[in-house]
Amino acid sequence: MPTKKPISKQKVVVVMPAYNAQHTIEKTWREVVSHDVVDLVIVVDDASRDQTMTLAQGLDRVIAHRHPKNRGYGGNQKTCYQLALEHDADIVVMVHPDYQYTPKLIPAMVSMVGSGLYACVLGSRILGGGALMGGMPLWRYVANRFLTLFGNVLLGTKVSEFHTGYRAFSRDLLQALPLQANSDDFVFDNQILAETVWLGFQIGEVSCPTSYAPDASSINFSRSVKYGFGCLNTAAQFRLAKWGLFKSPRYPADKHLAYSTWRQRAN
């Protein structure tokens, strides 16, 4: 039977999917590595047009990888998680290098995953009620609340926010997720949460301050609309798969095996 390592013995890898982040990557990295729980940082540069890769290569405790061509936000994450698993990560935390999400929450998120209570932990901008005060545009806030409500209804969850880019994962979950079946675009974020629920893994949340600084990356309105429809489609497909009316490699039939392994290891 698999055994759970003590939290202090679990290897923590922080991944940063980067694109044109030269102005904020060093600031983010400095705060990430200030935490003793972080063993390694992996930066994947998605063919940036600035000095992101050059700066990443000069940072301590960082493995920097560059895509020769832009693969998109989802494609970047696929490489991030693949590299983290190849470097024996037990816990993987995704932090955006634009400093929109504070790395100060890394120890809390790592503890929640490392304890075995949750296979996935989200840094929620909605918990605590400070999203609008932190600079989230009203139209984005309204869309966030609608899409999250729709997702909760169809997925049968009670998550405060599906759309945060601040996440921590257990190794067992990442190995179980059908990552390569997912989109290379922004809807990748939503798809892996739907798959996490499908596989039976538990999702936890921590309250995360919202920071919409000028240097923070953000998709434009048209891309946001595309993302929104992608989220609606993901939730609808999940519900149809539950009813046996839709088949997809993203919702595998042997879903209970991965969950059982994680649960045994956690206990």
- pLDDT over 60 (residue 166): yes
- Mean pLDDT, range 234-252, rounded to an integer: 96
Dihedrals phi, psi of 28, to nearest 5 degrees: -65, -45
The pLDDT tens digits of the residues spanning 94-152 come to: 999 999 899 999 999 999 999 999 999 999 999 988 888 888 889 999 999 999 999 99
pTM (two decimals): 0.93
Does 42 have pLDDT greater than 60? yes
Q: Which CATH number fits domain 7-266: 3.40.50.10790, 3.90.550.10, 3.40.50.300, 3.40.50.150?
A: 3.90.550.10
Task: Give the Å distances, CA to CA, from 232 to 12, 125, 179, 226.
Answer: 33, 20, 19, 10
Instruction: Kindly state the tokens that stand for 159.
Output: 């998550």
- At residue 51, the pLDDT reads 97
Q: In the chain, which ranges are continuous DSSP H helix?
A: 25-32, 52-57, 72-86, 106-114, 138-155, 171-176, 188-199, 221-242, 255-266
pLDDT tens digits, 210-226: 877 665 566 788 889 99
What is the pLDDT averaged over residues 175-204?
Answer: 97
Domain boundaries along the sequence of the chain: 7-266
**What pLDDT score was predicted for residue 149?**
98
Amino acid at 114: G
